[in-house]
Amino acid sequence: MSGLTSHRQPTSLRSGNLHNRSGQQQQQQGAMDLQSQPDIPAPGSPTSSSSPRSPLIPPILLEATTAKLLVPSRQLLYALLTAPLLVWLVAVLAGIVHSEPIPEGVSKREFVHPVTWFDKYVFRVYGPLLPLAPYLIRVASLGLRASTPVPSPSGSQPLRRRLQPGATLVLPALLAYLTIALVRIGVYICHLGLQRWTGGLLVLVSDHLLLAASVVACFQSELVMCTSDAYKALLVRCSDRCMKLRLLAMFISVLITTILLILVCVDMYCTARWFHQPKESGLALLAGAVMFQLPVVMWLLLSSVTVATRFT
């Protein structure tokens, strides 16, 4: 038995040496594999994915730098589209209900109502151009385009400049306002020719109310555009140094739009009450809705992007 034990002992020693050698070889192979692998950047290092050179920007911030019509919710969009039309509708219908002739002995040019100054010196002179005042203010405050190169959502491109909100529908809005003005001028020329052809006996609609309907449609659009631009400015407020100035410009633009809208509606109340027959005012109200206001509403609804439908 002792002979067998002494004979097996060298075998166990040799197997132990073999295990040690294989372990050393595995360690050497593992070290070589680690050296051959690329370096993994540590969190917070300049080459890590969290580096500011390749940020992951939320899609909603990228949308805010474009010219898209961006609103916080669909309900707010509906309210902005409905409120101006309700004010306009109530004003004209009230004028129709209170319709009465001008006092005897006073001509239409001599008759004075509460907003004659606005009708004579502002609306009749600059009527189609009035919506351009808030339009130019908001475009000037935001610029024609965002100054920041838009990186890909994967963050593969570096963000070299600060995010800046993009003005909403700059060229489409301008083209829409010019188209509305041209259509209104065309309708006015046709209606004027019809009156001359019939010797003034056939007056279908009130030209003044029709002009006002087209202007109200543009004001309605600008209220939505200003809301979109203000929302974009708030979205990128952390990287926009001019955020307060932009919001101030949006407030001024909304204020001008609201004041002009109210003055136009009051003026049209007086027009429907004293200067036109109820039938003419009613047809002008209907024609203005079909030709100007409803198309603008559909255009804004189709062009809008809401957070609820796009980013959730």
Per-residue pLDDT, 46? 42
The Cα–Cα gap between 114 and 107 comes to 16
Per-residue pLDDT, 25? 55
Determine the residue type at 295: P
pLDDT single digits (tens) 217-248: 999 999 999 999 999 988 887 766 677 888 89
Per-residue pLDDT, 105? 79
Per-residue pLDDT, 186? 87
Burial 130-150 (b: 16+ CB within 10 A, else e): bbbebbebbbebbeeebebeb
Per-residue pLDDT, 207? 84
Distance of CA 182 to the CA centre of its chain: 24
pLDDT single digits (tens) 255-285: 999 999 999 999 999 999 998 889 989 999 9
Per-residue pLDDT, 42? 46
Q: What are phi and psi of 305, to 5 degrees?
A: -125, 120
Per-residue pLDDT, 26? 54
Q: pLDDT tens, position by position, for the chain (312 residues)? A: 444 444 444 444 444 454 455 555 555 555 444 344 444 444 444 444 333 443 567 787 778 888 899 999 999 999 999 999 999 999 999 999 999 988 887 877 888 899 999 999 999 999 889 999 999 999 988 764 444 444 444 444 544 556 777 889 999 999 999 999 999 888 888 877 776 776 655 556 788 899 999 999 999 999 999 999 999 988 887 766 677 888 898 999 999 999 999 999 999 999 999 988 899 899 999 999 999 999 999 999 999 887 644 544
The Cα–Cα gap between 5 and 254 comes to 103
Per-residue pLDDT, 200? 59
pLDDT single digits (tens) 119-138: 999 999 998 899 999 999 99
Gap between the terminal Cα atoms of the chain: 82
Q: pTM of the entire structure?
A: 0.74
Per-residue pLDDT, 239? 65
Per-residue pLDDT, 153? 44
